[in-house]
Amino acid sequence: MRAVLQRVTKAQVHVAGELVGETGKGFLILICAMGGDTEVQAEKLAAKVAKLRVFKDEPGKMNLSIRDIGGSALVVSQFTLAADLRGNRPGFSTAAPSAEGERLYLHFSQALENEGVPVAHGQFGADMAVSLVNDGPVTIWMDTDQL
């Protein structure tokens, strides 16, 4: 699985003008299931996200996790993270098929909740408008193949 984590002070996702998910201080997580990904990878990624120390402590060092600060996450499906850029028009054939991608997206979200992080969602497969206030900015790319 691939994910882009953005440390945020707030983030929202709208579908057709309606708010479907939001978070305050925490992460906006854009996530993509790749072909061949499993529940084990979703759980491994969720555990890493929950423990990742990128929030500031009292002296201003990035020493705290999202759990340490009582933060939450907005998880948004993002199949374009699977982009193959060999040509000028990206291909997305390495992304998991839609049904599998949705299942793993939901499994990741549940695994993150099981790690003690409150989770809000986008709407899988929808044309979403995502807004955020990036804190730092801190943006981290993760791939379970590299964890």
pLDDT tens track for 31-40: 999 999 999 9
The size of the chain, in residues, is 147
Active site residue 80: yes
**Per the structure, how many domains does the chain have?**
1
pLDDT attached to residue 115: 98
pLDDT attached to residue 132: 98
Average pLDDT value for residue range 119-145? 96
**Catalytic residue of the set 12, 23, 41, 78:** 78
Q: Which of 29, 58, 61 is nearest to 45 (CA)?
A: 29
pLDDT tens track for 39-90: 999 999 999 999 999 999 999 999 999 999 999 999 999 999 999 998 899 9
**Is the pLDDT at 147 greater than 90, yes or no?**
no
pLDDT tens track for 100-129: 999 999 999 999 999 999 999 999 999 999
pLDDT tens track for 20-30: 999 999 999 99
Active site residue 55: no
Active site residue 110: no
DSSP 69-125: TT-EEEEEE-GGGG-B-SSSS-B-TTBPPHHHHHHHHHHHHHHHHHTT--EEE--TT
Helix (H, G, I), strand (E, B) or coil at 56: strand
pTM score: 0.96
**Catalytic residue of the set 79, 92, 94, 123:** 79
pLDDT attached to residue 131: 98
Range of the domain at 89: 2-146
Domain containing residue 30: CATH number: 3.50.80.10
pLDDT tens track for 6-16: 999 999 999 99
Say which DSSP state 52 is in.
Answer: -
